[in-house]
Structure 1
């Protein structure tokens, strides 16, 4: 298990996708109807980053949001 929360992991991956894209934060914010300040706050953890917003940001960056689950251990649950 990682020390980072699921939200922080999502934030890290979303920021990385944005940095790798040819789009600026201002352009992403404009296309999503957000202020650049609110987008920045979501990306820095000062405001929650919901799955809906992350999916929108990632989509504009050419990425897809995929959510999965897996057991914590290899032993079958009884």
Structure 2
């Protein structure tokens, strides 16, 4: 039996787009709230994703946040 290729974009592309979207949103929040620390930005991001109805990203936020920090380093946290 031959396996048929699934239509759509490769999973890596979707993951890259999700990482870029999380980075864009978190950067916007950091720009609006420059005094906020990154854990606070992550909490604000969760709230914003809930309001936008992006449950797909909300469920994967911890994973995407970790991947985003590996791919696009964030400034160090304040001590």
Q: TM-score range by the shorter chain?
A: 0.3 to 0.5
Which structure shows the higher helix fraction?
Answer: 2
